[in-house]
């Protein structure tokens, strides 16, 4: 089955648009690989890694457009797509589920692994051609309209710790979600395409203050790369303090890339939220702090990919639409021979630049939402 999409859907970090499709519990993002031969010059490749890794680390969507890199860097169209649907080497698009820069199939598989089960990609799998079925605790199929929202839902962790209480209430009614691509579904953007097959299964248990989600893969492949392992996310919320904690870890993680290369995948992340709601039940102030690391290691012990939060990433809810995503913190990443770091700044809502160090060379880039 082939599914063709020509328009990128933007899903902002803390203020996602209300969802209008069925199958709301499709809790992972879909993506699009580069269909043309990339310009693998060091600056362009490292800039792409900086954008991708920092979004994966922070679980928020944004774009980076730079100065100090080669001509044409930054976004050249909505979501980093060039006119006609072609991804170019300088397009650092948001990880919004339909359009982003993936240097190759290996990085694409890593992105699918890292984002499996995340709230950010809600509805994207169904739009990408998957059959998405939700069940309650008794095994009955659940068909639910989206809740009435004033500004969306969370991205990087399913239960939001008071940030989006209506979404939390909705999720609590779903005990199991099956995302099924069957024998294969191809999604195309102009000349670029990606094929997924198999299933992702999300099970949820718990009530009240603690919820546990377990994400598993059943013969799941993305462009012939096989993803295996179990991702467990435990979310808690303390009503007396208003604090929420979401901790995610991966066990028995393995990615077998399309060229036959076998690798181990380890990942952990902790997000702590302290949110104040206004009279309209909207987040008005507070912070979200994220720490964690991911490493994909080849059978010979070499690091294929890694990102590590070396200084806690802080999102300031009071910044509102002025600054989605981190206002401070540092992410260090590596992919093959390229090494990058991203410094998100001093905490100011008005600051729109980040410092990206690409293989030892520091540049200033603008963060966009």
Q: Domain-by-domain residue ranges, the chain?
A: 2-368
Q: Which helix (H) or strand (E) holds 192?
A: strand 192-207
Selected residue with higher pLDDT from 55 and 157: 55
**What are the pLDDT digits (tens) for 15-59?**
233 222 223 222 233 333 333 333 444 556 777 788 889 889 988
Q: Are 255 and 263 in contact (CB under 8 A)?
A: yes
Encoding tokens for residue 365?
């880039």
**CB count, 10 Å around CB of 21?**
14
Q: Are 260 and 142 in contact (CB under 8 A)?
A: no
Q: Is 33 exposed, middle or buried (0-12, 13-18, 19+ CB in 10 A)?
A: buried
Average pLDDT score over residue span 159-167: 63
Instruction: Output the CA angle 358-367-330, nearest 5 degrees.
Output: 55
- Name the 3-class secondary structure at 15: coil
| 157 pLDDT more than 50 | no
The pLDDT-based confidence of 243 (bands split at 50, 70, 90) is: confident
**What are the pLDDT digits (tens) for 83-107?**
223 333 334 344 444 345 577 889 9
DSSP 19: P
Nearest in space to 271 (alpha carbons), one of 115, 29, 59, 96: 59
**What are the pLDDT digits (tens) for 166-184?**
677 777 788 998 999 999 9
- Name the 3-class secondary structure at 240: coil
- φ, ψ for residue 364 (rounded to 5)? -105, 130
Alpha-carbon distance 324 to 266, whole Å? 27
**What are the pLDDT digits (tens) for 336-350?**
889 999 999 999 999
């Amino acid at each position: 089955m082939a599914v063709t999409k020509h328009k990128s859907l933007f899903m902002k970090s803390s203020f996602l648009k209300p969802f209008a499709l069925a199958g709301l519990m499709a809790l992972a993002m879909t993506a699009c690989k580069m269909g043309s031969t990339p310009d693998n010059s060091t600056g362009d490749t490292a800039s792409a890694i900086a954008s991708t890794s920092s979004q994966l680390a922070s679980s928020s969507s944004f774009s980076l457009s730079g100065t100090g890199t080669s001509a044409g860097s930054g976004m050249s169209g909505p979501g980093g797509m060039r006119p006609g649907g072609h991804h170019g080497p300088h397009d650092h698009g948001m990880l919004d589920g339909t359009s982003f820069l993936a240097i190759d199939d290996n990085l694409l598989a890593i992105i699918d692994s890292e984002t499996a089960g995340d709230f950010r990609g809600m509805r994207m799998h169904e739009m990408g051609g998957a059959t998405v079925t939700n069940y309650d605790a008794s095994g009955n199929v659940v068909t639910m309209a989206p809740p009435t929202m004033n500004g969306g839902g969370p991205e990087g962790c399913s239960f939001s710790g008071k940030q989006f209480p209506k979404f939390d209430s909705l999720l609590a009614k779903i005990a199991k979600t099956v995302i099924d691509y069957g024998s294969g579904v191809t999604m195309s953007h102009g000349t670029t395409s990606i094929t997924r097959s198999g299933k992702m299964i999300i099970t949820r248990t718990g009530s009240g203050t603690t919820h546990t989600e377990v994400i598993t893969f059943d013969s799941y492949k993305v462009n012939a790369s096989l993803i295996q392992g179990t991702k467990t996310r435990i979310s808690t919320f303390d009503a007396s303090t208003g604090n929420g904690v979401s901790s995610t870890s991966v066990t028995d993680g393995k990615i077998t890339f399309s060229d036959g290369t076998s690798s181990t995948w380890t990942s952990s992340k902790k997000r702590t939220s302290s949110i104040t709601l206004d009279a309209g039940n909207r987040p008005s102030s507070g912070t979200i702090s994220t720490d964690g690391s991911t490493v994909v290691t080849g059978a010979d012990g070499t690091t294929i990919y890694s990102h590590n939060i070396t200084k806690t990433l802080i999102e300031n809810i009071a910044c509102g639409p002025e600054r989605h995503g981190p206002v401070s913190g540092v992410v260090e990443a590596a992919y093959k021979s390229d090494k990058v770091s991203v410094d998100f700044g001093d905490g100011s809502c008005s600051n729109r630049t980040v410092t990206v160090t690409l293989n030892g060379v520091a540049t200033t880039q603008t963060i966009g939402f």
